[in-house]
Amino acid sequence: MTDLNPTEQGPGLRTLPPPVEAFADDEGRIIMQRRIRREKIFYRLCTLPAILVTFLVAIVPLGLLIFNSFRNQRTGVLSFEYYIATLGNAFFLRTLTSTIMMAFGVTVIAIFLALPLAYTLARRTLLRNFIMPVITIPRMLPFVVIGYAMILLLAPMTGVANKVLLGLGILSQPAFILFDWPGQAIAFSYSGIVIATAVLTGVLMSVDPQLEDASVSLGATRLRTFFVVTIPLAMPGIIAASALIFTSIVTSYAIPVMLNGRVPYMISLLVSANLLTLQQPHLAYAQAVIVSLLAIGVTAAAQYVLLRYGQGGRKQ
Amino acid sequence: MTAMSDNSIAPVRRWTGFGLLGKGLFIAYLALMLAWLLFPIILVLLASFQGKLEVTLSASDFGFEAYKSIPPAYWEAFWFTIRTALSATLLALLVAVPAAWGMVRGKLKGHRLLSNLVLIPDVVPQLILGIALLTVFIPLHLANSFAGVLLALTALSLSTGLRFTEALLTGLPDEYEQAANTLGANRLTTFRLITLPLIAPGLAIAALFIFMQNLVTFELLYFIAGPNASPVSVRLFSDIVDRGVLPYAVAMAGILIYVAIAFYTIVAIVLGPKYMAGSVMSRKG
């Protein structure tokens, strides 16, 4: 079998039975090695287009962006001035803090709200098949569509929620919450709950129900089992989902612009304002680098925790 | 199944008031969550048929005026999105399939490195990648053009394509290809006659997912789009920012919902709904 396989690597070839004649051994090996080398080059050539596309469309632009963030816009002198200016700017720091708080709060709320639903869906096949489209279809819509729905629901005069609440006499005047941070938080928590439910359902399905049954048979109640057995087993998924939601909120652009108040609440607004209207692209690059470091840092931290946590456990 | 047999053996459960209250609360929670998850779809669809910004439940307002009044620019944007998404899907697969094949069958040393390299456009926030691409595309005259959007989408979908194909090829024993090789077929013939037909069903699913992902991409394209190249999500976004909610924009949003429903139906029929549960198709707001 292996004798015929030219893709086998060097160490595998040494196990070939020695040929009868000595000179054929040398020549055969040289031909074989040349063939293997040609095979390798062929395989490498196959991967070349992928590398090329990634380099041209991602690595080079990102590298230029990072390089430019260190370069003065007029003089071209390399320095940290934009980073220092950004991190010394109280307005930027305040917006960054509010962004992180928004992302953190929404993530926690989304996970808490979605966890029982995800658990129910994971254990009830019939219900899951019935509800799955409800979770999946919002994930396949551009976020703009969700923004339209938010406006239809919460707009001060025409929104459904305001009209219903006014009609019931709960509110005496329309609530102007849409075009400010509460409206953004509601929109984000919608997408957060959708992501959390979808990811957690998958994760909780992989938690063996027999472990829960064992816990119940040993005397624990269902509720206690859920907290002591199920949640720790599903922790890797919870961490992954949290990181996904957090980063998607920190770097989101559509909702902060659509539901913008008078004061920018999310960091992406500052970046795009510097880039598009204030004509300070290099400052915008520095801010973009800071934001992406935050997002990638959170993802990497989650990966690290997963790696440490999931030493024994299995993760898809 | 085990839970059911447990219940049949276990003594009859006594319904205490507290337990009933908990059950009721839980059902109320489930119903509220369902309503919360469903409301955008229902609201947008209702509003798209009523052609107004105020959603009412009176049946008399229903009509197709909003759909009829969708301007040609919107349809252009819609078909532009379909065209770019389709071409980017094909291009990404054309690039990703040979790469995955080389990596898996060649047992290359830089295997992990390449997988992670391709992942970069997916990991870097789309906002940042969009800004970076804008900087490079303007001098190259690629911003605001079909080619620019196509390139950006291709780079984005490469990681999905590569991961899918890698998994498919790893699951495929290479004895079939070896047999074809032994019988005298060259690499290309082997690939065309043996490998491709074997992984084709999986590739079709991958293409479907990549296509859908390309269809909804917004932040990456927002910066490099322009009047000559505006995907429908960007068009909807700039209209809502500049002019507020318009009836025909809501109708267009409704059409996007129909596309998503159609996509879900196809995947559910082909794969079964279970498949969607674990898939981490990232949705970035």
Chain A positions touching B105 (Cβ under 8 A) are 7, 43
As a whole number, mean pLDDT of residues B158-177 equals: 82
* Average predicted confidence (pLDDT) for chain B: 77
Identify which has the larger pLDDT, A299 or B63: A299
- One domain, residues A283 and A233: yes
Closest by Cβ to B285, choosing from A65, A121, A248: A248
Residue A173 lies in a domain: yes
Chain B positions touching A50 (Cβ under 8 A) are 95-96, 98-99, 114, 118, 158, 162
What's the Cα-to-Cα distance from A18 to each of A21, A31, A32, A35, rounded to whole Å? 9, 15, 14, 19
Q: Within an 8 Å CB–CB cutoff, is residue A247 touching chain B?
A: yes
Q: Within an 8 Å CB–CB cutoff, is residue A13 touching chain B?
A: no
Closest by Cβ to A135, choosing from B37, B155, B216: B37
- One domain, residues A42 and A153: no
As a whole number, mean pLDDT of residues B119-123 equals: 79
Distance, in Å, from the CA atom of B60 to the CA atom of B281, rounded to the nearest integer, reads 40
As a whole number, mean pLDDT of residues B250-277 equals: 76
**Weakly modelled stretches of chain A, pLDDT under 50:** 1-14, 313-316
Tally of domains within chain A = 2
Q: How many CA atoms lie less than 13 Å away from A112 in the CB half-sphere?
A: 6
- One domain, residues A58 and A87: no
Q: Within an 8 Å CB–CB cutoff, is residue B106 touching chain A?
A: yes
Regarding the domain with residue range B73-278, which homologous superfamily does it belong to in the CATH classification?
MetI-like (1.10.3720.10)
Which residue in B has a C-alpha nearest to residue A122's C-alpha?
A: B277
- 3 state SS of B226: strand
- One domain, residues A196 and A294: yes
Write out residues 114-173 of A within 8 Å (CB-CB) of B.
Answer: 114, 116-117, 120-123, 128-129, 131-153, 155, 158, 160, 163
- One domain, residues A299 and A157: yes
Contact B283 A252 (CB under 8 A): no
Model pLDDT for residues A134-153, shown as the tens digit of each residue = 877 887 787 788 888 888 87
- One domain, residues A49 and A104: no
Q: Which of A18, A44, A69 is the last residue of a domain?
A: A69
Write out residues 71-90 of A within 8 Å (CB-CB) of B.
Answer: none
Q: Report pTM.
A: 0.79
Mutate which: B89, B105, B118, B135, vs A, most A CBs within 10 A: B135
Q: Which of A69, A100, A128 is the last residue of a domain?
A: A69
B226 forms beta bridges with B229
Contact A145 B257 (CB under 8 A): yes
Residue A21 lies in a domain: yes
What is the CA angle A287-A101-B282, rounded to 5?
75
How long is chain B?
285
- One domain, residues A86 and A60: no
Confirm if A178 and A116 have CB atoms less than 8 A apart: no
pLDDT at B234: 84
pLDDT at A4: 46
pLDDT at A313: 47
Q: Which amino acid is at B215?
A: L
Q: Which of A12, A44, A69 is the last residue of a domain?
A: A69
Long-range contacts of A156-161 (CB under 8 A, 24+ apart): A158/B53, A158/B54, A160/B43, A160/B55
Backbone angles phi, psi at B161, to 5 degrees: -60, -45
Dihedral, CA atoms, B46, B47, B51, B56, nearest 10 degrees? 80
Instruction: Using the predicted structure, report yes or no on whether residue B36 has a pLDDT greater than 60.
Output: yes
Contact A252 B55 (CB under 8 A): no
Contact B236 A142 (CB under 8 A): yes
Q: Within an 8 Å CB–CB cutoff, is residue B107 touching chain A?
A: yes
- One domain, residues A102 and A225: yes
Which residue in B has a C-alpha nearest to residue A292's C-alpha?
A: B125
pLDDT at A108: 92
CATH number, residue A218: 1.10.3720.10
Report DSSP state, residue A18.
Answer: P
pLDDT at B58: 61
Write out residues 28-67 of A within 8 Å (CB-CB) of B.
Answer: 39-40, 42-47, 49-51, 53-54, 56-62, 64-65
Residue A139 lies in a domain: yes
Average the pLDDT over each of B3-17, B198-212, B258-272 and give the range with the smallest value: B3-17
DSSP for A67-103 reads: HHHTB-TTT--B-SHHHHHHHT-HHHHHHHHHHHHHH
Q: Per the structure block, which two tokens stand in for A38?
A: 């040609």
Instruction: Using the predicted structure, report yes or no on whether residue B259 has a pLDDT greater than 80.
Output: yes
- One domain, residues A134 and A191: yes
ipTM score of complex: 0.77
Residue A74 lies in a domain: no
Which residue in A has a C-alpha nearest to residue B148's C-alpha?
A: A57
Contact A50 B44 (CB under 8 A): no
- One domain, residues A36 and A114: no
Q: Within an 8 Å CB–CB cutoff, is residue B278 touching chain A?
A: yes
- b/e map of B160-198 (b: 16 or more CB within 10 Å)? bbbbbbbebbeebebeebbebbeeebebeebbeebbeeb
Backbone angles phi, psi at B231, to 5 degrees: -65, 160
How many CB contacts within 8 angstroms connect chain A with chain B? 306
Instruction: Using the predicted structure, report yes or no on whether residue B73 has a pLDDT greater than 60.
Output: yes
Q: Within an 8 Å CB–CB cutoff, is residue B224 touching chain A?
A: no
Domain spans of chain B, in order of start: 15-63, 73-278
Model pLDDT for residues B21-32, shown as the tens digit of each residue = 888 888 888 888
Q: Which amino acid is at B52?
A: K
* Average predicted confidence (pLDDT) for chain A: 77
pLDDT at A7: 46
Contact A145 B40 (CB under 8 A): yes
Which residue in A has a C-alpha nearest to residue B127's C-alpha?
A: A251
Distance, in Å, from the CA atom of B49 to the CA atom of B51, rounded to the nearest integer, reads 6
Contact A4 B120 (CB under 8 A): no
Dihedral, CA atoms, B93, B96, B99, B104, nearest 10 degrees? -90
- One domain, residues A147 and A240: yes
Comparing CA positions, the residue from B52, B48, B98 lying closest to residue A44 is B98
- One domain, residues A36 and A162: no
Residue A23 sits in which domain range?
2-69
Residue A76 lies in a domain: no
